[in-house]
Chain A
């Protein structure tokens, strides 16, 4: 028994050493892994936006590149031709807009506090009427909270916009560069990725990737075009009135229109506010409301654009929309809120395509089995 006791003691020591070494190396691996992950994260922080934007640019320009390519011009040359065209158009647009833009920006800086003050006043009024009906919510300082929130937001916009022009400079270099390579080699990159799948699943992966990417391109193109047209309609409609900042309001309405359900409502608010402050509740105010809600949202967007541009399959349940907005906002702030829903729709499209693909090929399968049985 005695030698066995000794052995166990040695064993215990060994076990202790092995366990310690195991835990220590585990910790070391874990910490190094987390440093590696944090390194990767810091290395890629600034890349998300340019890559996203260049993917969008790629999806928008791809049909045009294909169109030029049809004339037996090599893809690289056609991309360069298209870039020249786009650059010329952009230059013209900037030349035309920039004087107006400067004036607008300066007057907006002075006007912004007036608009926010009106917003706070409206909120206070609303709370007063609420208090009359439900006296027990007295303790909640809604206008105060809203004031700090709005002031922070406005300060951020006023301070960050010139700063973000600096970032815009880097985007102006990175986005064309990335999208050039995505346009030129995108299909080859996708092909290489698909080629990595094992032989048995290669055919399915290849088929699915082409189906999903076609749907995705269609969806992204549709969404961007829809937002652009809605923005244009709002700008045109508002330009008929005496309201100021029609282009900015139109731009805002267009961008927020990317988010379904919630976006259009948010998009209306600044327009209504500016109209209330500058024009009061006259005939023009109601015309502005009609432009926003009836013309832009209901007639143009719901009756004309959505049926033409966007297939119903990409519709998300409102619950998913809200979840996507919240999660996107947590990840990437305001930008995340805007792109969260399109990304969620893209994921839904991918899943639907996969399910559709499977169901198309399982239904005849059962039919065939029945045939075989008879």
Chain B
């Protein structure tokens, strides 16, 4: 076949496509092919070098990131300048989703550990999409809301456990725990 034509008609293999990656994310698990194709036009794909800062604690947050390849470390800086790692995320994980709908500051910092490709989904794009395709945006938002409430519930249970543990050991003032971290 003519190489020019083969180039035009060549389809990206299913595993490589962004839609396939998005479908495997917990947030978008319930979405159909059409919705995923639409999300493909919304998200931004960004490449990061190793040890590059994605965002710092206190930055204005405006969206979430999903890891397509590579690893990302989520950490907070302690007052004496040390980094305390909260989580180590790999491909398929996502982070920063708490600032997607409400403008807020990042409560932790994120840094890549190796060459990483991140897929960013931001509030501004979602709001704009909501004007045009409310139905699809609804499906996305329901998925997000479900994930968020799952995480919130898990955090609440963790807080309760920690509080009872703290009151059991020290029987003094309960420890303040940031539910976001």
Contact = CB atoms under 8 A, between A and B. Distances in A.
Chain A bound to chain B: yes
Given A199-B52, A207-B123, A211-B124, A368 B58 contact: yes
A206 B44 contact: yes
Interface size class of A (residues with CB under 8 A): 20 to 34
A372 B127 CA distance: 33
B64 to A, nearest CB: 11
Interface size class of B (residues with CB under 8 A): 20 to 34
A70 B132 contact: yes
Contact of B60 (A66, A199, A209, A361): A361
B103 interface: yes
Contacts of B151: none
B114 interface: no
A360 interface: yes
A357 B60 CA distance: 9
A66 B79 contact: no
Contacts of A187: 128
B103 A203 contact: no
B134 interface: yes
B33 interface: no
A66 B105 CA distance: 32
B30 to A, nearest CB: 21
A202 to B, nearest CB: 6
Contact of A204 (B60, B104, B133): B60
Given A199-B54, A365-B58, A210 B124 contact: yes
A200 B53 contact: yes
B131 interface: yes
Nearest to B63: A203
Given A210-B128, A357-B60, A203 B120 contact: yes
A361 B44 contact: no
Nearest to B54: A199
Contacts of A191: 44
A207 B48 contact: no
Given A195-B44, A200-B53, A368-B105, A207 B134 contact: no
A203 B122 contact: yes
B79 A372 contact: yes
B83 interface: no
A69 interface: yes
Contact of B62 (A66, A199, A203): A203
Interface in B60-80: 60-63, 79
B131 A360 contact: no
A129 to B, nearest CB: 60
A195 B120 CA distance: 11
Interface of B: 44, 46, 48, 52-55, 58-63, 79, 103-105, 120, 122-125, 127-128, 131-134
Interface of A: 66, 69-70, 187, 191, 195, 199-200, 202-204, 206-207, 209-211, 357, 360-361, 364-365, 368, 372
